[in-house]
Structure 1
Amino acid sequence: MVSKISEGIEISVETFYQPDYSNPMSAEFMFAYRISIENHNNFPVQLQRRHWHIFDSNGQYREVEGEGVVGVQPTLNPGERYQYVSGCNLRTEMGKMYGTYSMLNLSNKRGFDVNIPAFEMIVPFKHN
């Protein structure tokens, strides 16, 4: 698990290889990731947008950007945590992701960005 606090928001990430949804013979590797977002500020926030940078180990790069996460724009009061699970497909056995969440301070209506720490996705048999 990797964690990072930026702008008073703690982001923690765990990854899981999904062998039942992968097909190594066709260079299709599916990973799930669980993200926890915890508000350490003294004001409520709302997650507005996400922006991901995704890298395969063969040098391929892509970006994913959009509103909210898994179809919602969660609000977190001070001390609250929100958790969700999503997925990423790679063309190689290893890759990494990092990104940002665009947040809104609900007290003063100002936006700010929170860094999502880089995390690796590696099929288990590559860990030796």
Structure 2
Amino acid sequence: MYRQTTHGIEVTARPEFLEDESAPEKSRWFWAYTIIIANHSERTVQLESRFWRITNAAGKVEEISGPGVIGEQPILTPGDSFQYTSGCPLDTESGTMFGHYIMRLADGNSLVVKIPPFSLDLPSKKRTLN
């Protein structure tokens, strides 16, 4: 697991290789990743948008951004948490991901909450991130 806390918001990432969804003979490897966002701050926040930077083993970078996560823009009061699972296909057998969320505060201001870097590695391979 990978964890990072920004402004009292803890983000935990847990990647998992999905062998059944992958087709190495077609240069397709697929990972699921579960994210837990826990609000340890004293403020209510709403996840407004996300940004991901995905790098494959060949150094090819893809950036993804958009509103919310999995079609939701959850509101987290102090002590709340939100969990979701999504997926990432790569055309190489490993890679890395990191990013951030934009969280809206009740007063209209926003916070950038970092998503920890995490590696997408085959279970039989050495991890590329510690």
TM-score norm. by structure 2 comes to: 0.95
State the partner residue of 2:69: 69
State the partner residue of 1:7: 7
Q: Which runs of 4+ in 1 moved over 2 A?
A: none
* Superposition map of 1:1-128 within 5 A: 1-106=1-106, 108-127=107-126
Kindly state the Cα deviation for residue 41 of structure 1 after the two structures are TM-superposed. 1.1
Q: Following the alignment from structure 2 to structure 1, what is the Cα–Cα distance between the partners of residues 105 and 41?
A: 10
Q: Following the alignment from structure 1 to structure 2, what is the Cα–Cα distance between the partners of residues 93 and 126?
A: 9
Structure 1: runs of 5 or more not aligned = none
Aligned Cα RMSD in Å? 1.0
Residue 59 of structure 2 aligns to a residue whose secondary structure is coil
Aligned residues: 127
Q: Following the alignment from structure 2 to structure 1, what is the Cα–Cα distance between the partners of residues 40 and 16?
A: 27
Structure 2: runs of 5 or more not aligned = none
Q: Which amino acid aligns with 1:112?
A: L
Q: Percent identity?
A: 39
Q: Following the alignment from structure 2 to structure 1, what is the Cα–Cα distance between the partners of residues 61 and 101?
A: 19
Kindly state the Cα deviation for residue 8 of structure 1 after the two structures are TM-superposed. 1.1
Q: Which amino acid aligns with 1:20?
A: D
Q: Which amino acid aligns with 1:61?
A: V
